[in-house]
Amino acid sequence: MSIIIFMVALCLYWSIIGPFSLYMKQKPIEEKLGYVPSLKVIRVMSADHKELMGASLITKVLMYYGGITMKAQDNVMVEPPDYQMMSRIIHGALQLDPYNMDGYYFAQSFLTWEIHQYQLANNLLDYGMKYRTWDWYLPFFAGFNSSYFLGDFQSAARYYKLAGELSGSDLPKLLAGRYLQQSGQTELAIAYLTAMEKGVRNLAVKKNYQIRLASFKAVRRIELARDSYLKSGGSLPVTVEKLANMGILSPPPLDPYGGKFYIEADGRVSTTSKFAFSGKK
């Protein structure tokens, strides 16, 4: 009798778990971030395994964002990532384990470029510097945010000085002395993105940085050609095509996001893609 009851229970279990598993596999990746309890509840649940819980939460966000990013790069229509929930989870995970490297690096990538929460990103980096006292990347990122996004060159110089002291490298010192001015912002962005691309471990996020880095390098080529034209002709070029036709810009740069580069009236180089994929199939 007990065997019959067990077999019935087993059949009932598979009749439920089978369709449920299929449903979960077919759910769009953007729906899989799911509900996460409050930090207070997570602390109690994790007990003496806070580092493991923190790493698990960060991995959850990385997989979620990576799936969306890969689809966007393949021009598949997807819902925008839930950045608010991503930020909440990352912040909570780093309170559980303030030494987790991936949390800071990934938060820096989407808090700045994607949702423009520059001060929030720096606040998180300041928090990390209290624990990861050896990590020169954190003040390096904060220095970039301060100069490139916030225009706070005094804070940028302070962060870059700390990054130079921790790393023993001349790069942060050069950035503090040479790039902390309105001209040279593209070079600053290239230096920063190069460091980010080398430091990140998640392949989808790394690919994202490589594409953005390629677009900024293309912008810099146009800026150099623009400056050359201005120096010889005394006026700004009207179009990127004119620079290419004159042989000053050869070969013509391509926007990896699929847009078209153009020169604005004030000479600034922009692109119709706004440095983002359209998300259209």
Average pLDDT score, the chain: 81
Whole-number Å distance between alpha carbons of 275 and 271: 7
Q: Can you name the residues that pair with 271 across neighbouring β-strands?
A: 261
Higher pLDDT, 189 or 249: 249
Q: How far is CA 135 from CA 169, 181, 218, 227, 261, in A?
A: 13, 26, 31, 37, 37
Q: What is the pTM of this model?
A: 0.66
269-271 and 261-263 strand pairing: antiparallel
Helices 83-96 & 101-113 angle (0-180, nearest 10): 150
pLDDT band at 177 (very low <50, low <70, confident <90, very high): low
Query: What pLDDT is recorded for position 6?
Result: 46
pLDDT band at 1 (very low <50, low <70, confident <90, very high): low
Position 188 pLDDT exceeds 60: yes
Q: Can you name the residues that pair with 269 across neighbouring β-strands?
A: 263
Higher pLDDT, 254 or 9: 254
**Percentage with pLDDT > 90 across the chain:** 38
- Per the document, the length of the chain is 281
Is 251 in contact with 221 (CB distance < 8 Å)? Answer: no
Whole-number Å distance between alpha carbons of 95 and 93: 5
Contact partners, residue 98, CB within 8 Å, separation at least 6? 127, 128, 130, 131, 132
Return the CATH fold of 49-73+81-201: 1.25.40
Mean pLDDT calculated for residue range 158-182: 70
| Least confident range of 9-13, 45-49, 131-135 | 9-13
What is the identity of the amino acid at 179? Y
What are the start and end residues of each CATH 1.25.40.10 domain in the chain? Answer: 49-73+81-201
Higher pLDDT, 98 or 15: 98
Q: In the block, which residue shows the tokens 């042989």?
A: 247
